[in-house]
Chains A and B, each alone.
Chain A
Amino acid sequence: MAILRTKLRPFGAARYVGLVGFVVLAACLGYGQTTNSCLDCHSALPDPLGVTQEKFSQDIHAQKGLTCASCHGGDPTSDDPDKAMSRKAGWKGKIDHKQIPQLCGSCHSDPAYIRQFNPSLRTDQLGQYRTSVHGKRFAAGDTKVAVCTDCHSVHDLRAPSDPRSTVNPVNVANTCARCHADANYMKGYPIPTDQFAKYTTSVHYQALAVRGDLSAPTCTTCHGNHGAAPPGVDKVQNVCSNCHAFQAQMYEKSTHKKAFDAASLPGCVVCHSNHGISHPTDAKLGTGPDAVCMQCHTPGDRCDQARAGLQSGLSQLNEAIKNADQILRVAESSGMEVSEARLGQDQARDSLTKARVTIHSFRTDLVDQDIQAGLKIAAKNLQAGKEAMSERNYRRFGLGIALIAIGMVLAGLRLYIKKIERP
């Protein structure tokens, strides 16, 4: 600086102008200098090296203040590629597939570190992953199995609550299907590849993907996510009971539980299947193509008779509800006030639902209690509908009489007017 001062001295005031200009220029250059120089180059590179600013800005890590260097190392403040990607600066280059779980786990298994970003985020993902089929095979050297980035994506990794995230409940099945529905990719693994195709026909998929009901199950709901594994034969009931608690409680006490356990049959799956669970109808109790009881039972035996009784009871209640609905609909469209009976119909429907749930106890006496309760309510509502219709007819009859009387008065008045106006 002393040399500079000496050299500039002869220019007098101009040196101050020059100094000010220099400071402004330096400030501008400093302002324009990025703190993540990686993206300056990589946003211009083609895949797989290309990462645009737009893509990376969507990443939850970028939003939390992490940079490329957080995973890849190096010096992102340097504009010189050699310095930025120098091993001296800790640059790791492309992360080896085998290193990914460990790399992610270096932060995500550290509660103290994670707490500063999201105190409620779990930190056992790596531990769980190691217990999963994916993790076990990975540890055994299988590089085809999924690691963190295969499911969560990379460089545009979003929070699971983001509807665009690959692990959002609505997208999970598609994410799993990328590998599990690919017969070529899954060659060599002793599992089928039709799970996704079956799942898309299921009542669960309809609820989740079509109706947008986020409480409906997807792959990870039953298999787990980081600790993903197929539930064992004896664990299926535990999986289903997470949502279908009443059915599970009844099944637990039923004779079928003992019989299925003895025969090593996978509980709920025996009647309902697994990935392609269709909407259960009363036809499951029948003898047609959708019937399930007769797959094991013999026609005419005690259980077959019980099955027929249950199906008949459910049909009877269903029919009674339909009949009451029909008459109440007609009464309502005739302007009759039947809102109480319409509300009562919901109770009858609840009884039908309860009876269908009680089927899982496989006890005819318990199911019959629910059916009888529903039949009683439906009969009351049917009666209310009949009364409304007879009231409607009574009103119309009364109207007819009143109109005749009014007509007679009008005719009488007309005759009287004629009489008094006769010249």
Chain B
Amino acid sequence: MSSLRNVSNWLDERLEWDDLIAPLRKKTVPLHRLSYWYFLGGITLFLFVIQVLTGILLLLYYRPGANEAFESVQYIMTRVRFGWLIRSIHSWSANLMIFTAFAHMFSVLFLKAYRKPRELTWVSGVILLFLVMGFGFSGYLLPWNTLAFFATKVGTEITGQVPLIGKPLMIFLRGGEEVTGATLTRFFGFHVAVLPGIATLLIFLHLLLVQRLGMSIPQKLEVQWTANPSAKQEMKFFPNFLLRELMAWYAALAVLGALAAVFPWNLGVKADPFVSAPAGIKPEWYFLFMFQTLKLIPSKVWFIDGEVLGVLAFGLVGLLWLLLPFFESDQPSRPKRWITGLAVFALVYIVGMSVYGYLAN
């Protein structure tokens, strides 16, 4: 212990370490029956870190290119020691991260944690959610298997439906008119450089805002605690909350390990652009609700193309979702009930459409 203290002292003399972690020592976390929802953001962050670490390890062997990508992933899965584990953890943690990011967003929505002064925290979080879905979309193509190839083809085609900018955007994403090796190289660049760069900056901003503004508390409790400050309950962030967060991370690690060992991520069959798309092809589960909605819209709605209308509608909903805090009341005692109603509707819609899309032929 004395040697640890010596190291700490040494660092403190040079970096003024104590001053750096002083805010953490002072930071507290509100304690109430819904406090466990606070762990979701931390778990999402933990899974992002897992993504970065396993992604770097995969980069040691992965080769982007239509003639090499599939074979390199196959090599990772069969020849590289623990390659199967790294790839499976990377794939499973990606899916879990998207799930926890959604869950985190809805927990924030239902607890109304996006209210003033946390509007920017919400905005940065929603952009991060979109980025995470972008990670999923770009990463899905990288093994260059049949499902990934056709899912990317369909996905980029939908992008092409956006009026005016759709077609140039599709060509930009594909690196040409069709999904080819050029698309793979592009998606690889987005996945390992562009998106991580933007995501890291936004994560720092998001965390900085959380640190500056502290944890939000449910509206009812806020009213009660403001009226009676002695009723306020809280725990220290360091070490009490952090240790609990650590437990959640360990539990997430156990789930990840179990999924990777029992259900290693499938490699599929190498993509062949000259064969027809497999019957009933569907996107990854987190895009399924949008895909199913687009399928259900009639081909023509009045004079507008159904798919174009759907894409525009999703774009508009995404924008409004981003700006949601600005529609909320400033008064904790007078919350906008329609936003809670909208959140319930959105959750039911996303889950319902995803299940419908999964079961539909």
A residues engaging B (CB < 8 A)?
Answer: 335-337, 339-340, 395-396, 398-399, 402-403, 406-407, 409-410, 413-414, 416-417, 420-421
Contact = CB atoms under 8 A, between A and B. Distances in A.
Interface stretch (B5-13, B209-217, B253-261): B253-261
A414 B239 CA distance: 12
B267 A337 contact: yes
A399 B85 CA distance: 11
Contact of A410 (B77, B84, B247, B257): B247
Given A406-B254, A413-B243, A417-B240, 10 more contacts: A339-B267, A395-B264, A398-B261, A399-B262, A406-B251, A407-B254, A410-B251, A413-B250, A414-B247, A420-B239
A289 to B, nearest CB: 42
A399 B258 contact: yes
Nearest to A388: B78
Nearest to B79: A337
A417 B243 contact: yes
B244 interface: yes
B266 interface: yes
A208 to B, nearest CB: 25
A88 B89 CA distance: 93
A335 B240 contact: no
Which of A395, A398, A409 neighbours the largest number of chain B CB atoms within 10 Å of its CB? A395
A337 B240 contact: no
B293 to A, nearest CB: 32
7 contacts: A395-B264, A398-B261, A406-B253, A406-B257, A410-B251, A414-B247, A420-B239
Contact of B78 (A337, A399, A409): A337
Contacts of A395: 84-85, 261, 264
A335 B263 contact: yes
Contacts of A413: 243, 246-247, 250
Nearest to A399: B261
Contact of A417 (B74, B244, B253): B244
Contacts of A414: 247
B262 A340 contact: no
Contacts of A416: 243
Nearest to B253: A406
A420 B247 contact: no
Contacts of B263: 335
Given A337-B78, A406-B250, A410-B247, A420 B240 contact: yes
For A335, A396, A421, the residue with the greatest tally of chain B CB atoms inside 10 Å of its CB is A335
Contacts of A407: 254
Contacts of A403: 254, 257-258
Contacts of B240: 417, 420-421
A399 B258 CA distance: 6
A272 B84 CA distance: 51
Contacts of A335: 262-266
Contacts of A420: 239-240
Nearest to B76: A337
B257 A337 contact: no
A392 to B, nearest CB: 9
A249 B255 CA distance: 62
A421 B85 CA distance: 37
Nearest to B267: A337
Contact of B257 (A336, A402, A417): A402
Contacts of B262: 335, 396, 399
Contacts of A398: 261
A339 B146 CA distance: 15
A413 to B, nearest CB: 5
A286 B251 CA distance: 61
B145 to A, nearest CB: 11
B250 A396 contact: no
A386 B294 CA distance: 46
A337 B74 contact: yes
Q: Which of B74, B243, B263 has the most CB of A within 10 A?
A: B243
A337 B258 contact: no
B173 to A, nearest CB: 29
Nearest to A396: B261
A239 to B, nearest CB: 37
A337 B250 contact: no
Contacts of B85: 395
Contacts of B261: 395-396, 398-399
A337 B84 contact: yes
Nearest to B257: A402
Given A416-B243, A420-B239, A399 B257 contact: yes
Contacts of A402: 254, 257
Interface in B31-68: none
Contacts of A409: 250
Contacts of B253: 406
A410 B250 contact: yes
Nearest to B241: A417
A340 B78 contact: yes
Interface in B261-283: 261-267
A335 B258 CA distance: 13
Contacts of A399: 257-258, 261-262
Contact of B264 (A336, A340, A406): A336
A411 to B, nearest CB: 10
Nearest to B248: A410
A48 B51 CA distance: 81
Contacts of B264: 335-337, 395
Given A399-B262, A403-B257, A339 B243 contact: no
A417 B253 CA distance: 20
Contacts of B74: 337, 339
Nearest to B264: A335
A417 B245 CA distance: 11
A399 B84 CA distance: 13
Nearest to B265: A335
B92 to A, nearest CB: 11
A414 B266 CA distance: 36
Interface string B64-91: 0000000000100110000011000000
Contacts of B78: 337, 340
A399 B254 CA distance: 9
Contacts of B84: 337, 395
B49 to A, nearest CB: 17
